[in-house]
A and B are shown apart, each in its own frame.
Chain A
Amino acid sequence: MTIKHHPPEDLLADFAAGRLDEADRLVVGVHAAQCPRCRRFIAAIEQLAGAALEQAAPVAMADDAFATVIAAIDAPEMASVPAPDVSQPVPPLDDDLPEILLRCRFGKSRRVAPGVKMQPIILPGADKSRAFLLWSAPGTRMLEHSHTGTELTLVLKGSFSHEGGDYRAGDFDFGDGEVDHQPIVGGDRPCLCLVAMRGDLQLHGWLGRLISPFVRL
């Protein structure tokens, strides 16, 4: 897989520092799991963070802190973390997904527009952004749109293109409020994307304004 489009550096740095909202972290994490180049960048930030930790001004621990930890070490190993329930009440709309996604829980998928389906990923820790799978039929022309917030898109299968170029499996597309684009899905096979979205989608043109109440993302 040749990945051409990567997340912006500040997003990778926020990921490494642990500062991303849950939905954004999921999309960046799935990209990084496939992308050695971004993993190296994250590793570099983690090294800098290690140096910052070394130099952080120490704050005294509670008097019994060490004893507490030793007691926890000596306590019989209990199943402190229950094994995650991997049963899926709602199966993902595609079962051939990266491993991190197979461990997620999905909501009901629904039709968004002709040839377009979305399936929410349930992330209770998500604060401002939402994550979902977006499935589009080959050749789908998405409506021209911009965003009030940011939109992080990772191509899992198939391809799409817009003014920014061609996006194939592994490619990452970052859209913010300034981007105004009209993606077209590649004609040979369906396109499956993982998306984290913040704010609302704004559709343009009279048709967009007419149908936007029916396009629910």
Chain B
Amino acid sequence: MEWAELIGRVAAHGDRAAFKLLFEHFAPRVKGFLVKTGMNADAAEEIAQTTLLTVWRKAAQFDPASAGAAAWIFTIARNLRIDSARQAARRAKAAVSAERDETPEVVDSPETMMARRDDVSRVAAALERLSEEQSKVIRMSFIEERPHGEIAETLGIPLGTVKSRIRLAMARLRDLLDD
């Protein structure tokens, strides 16, 4: 069954069996993803749990026509990671200053930043036309935060060309989206 369909069931009638499937698939992947990008295991566990809790609570806001389930869940985990970093910074500053701090959150909620429906097909078409190597280079560099040496090794290209490959891939993606 499609993940999007399971999220739909959670939204429609609080289907716990569907939620369990989502949890078992995505929670360990969110945790693995966060650990791989440098977070300690305890913090990653907590964010993975909260991510799935948010999936339950916001299931009705998920629009399968505008985002894939995995991309939607990624944006939830990303925003939680940003929030937790911000709260840590705030606590650190509160410790040195007695001033009360009530700065509202400015993080973009996934639903406001997600592409509008009419953009979806353009995004999908552009990603389809991006070469395998180019989407890989963007993924490794910006999302998985791999060092350039590792990217060079994985793609079998000289270290000196990694930077220009990344730049070319980004420009190509921009061009494809503008078509």
Contacts and interface: CB of A to CB of B under 8 A. Distances in A.
Nearest to A14: B142
Given A17-B142, A29-B106, A49-B143, A59 B41 contact: yes
B138 A54 contact: no
B30 interface: yes
B36 A46 contact: no
Contacts of A1: none
Range class of the A interface residue count: 35 or more
Interface stretch (A68-76, A133-141, A153-161): A68-76
A65 B49 CA distance: 7
Interface in B69-83: 69-75, 77-79, 81-82
Interface string A14-50: 1011110010011001001100110111111111111
Given A18-B78, A50-B70, A41 B86 contact: no
Contact of A123 (B49, B74, B82, B103): B103
Nearest to B30: A53
A56 B29 contact: yes
Contacts of A205: none
B27 interface: yes
A164 interface: no
A143 interface: no
Contact of B102 (A16, A37, A69, A85): A85
Interface of A: 9-10, 13-14, 16-19, 22, 25-26, 29, 32-33, 36-37, 39-54, 56-62, 65-66, 68-70, 72-73, 84-86, 100, 103-105, 122-127
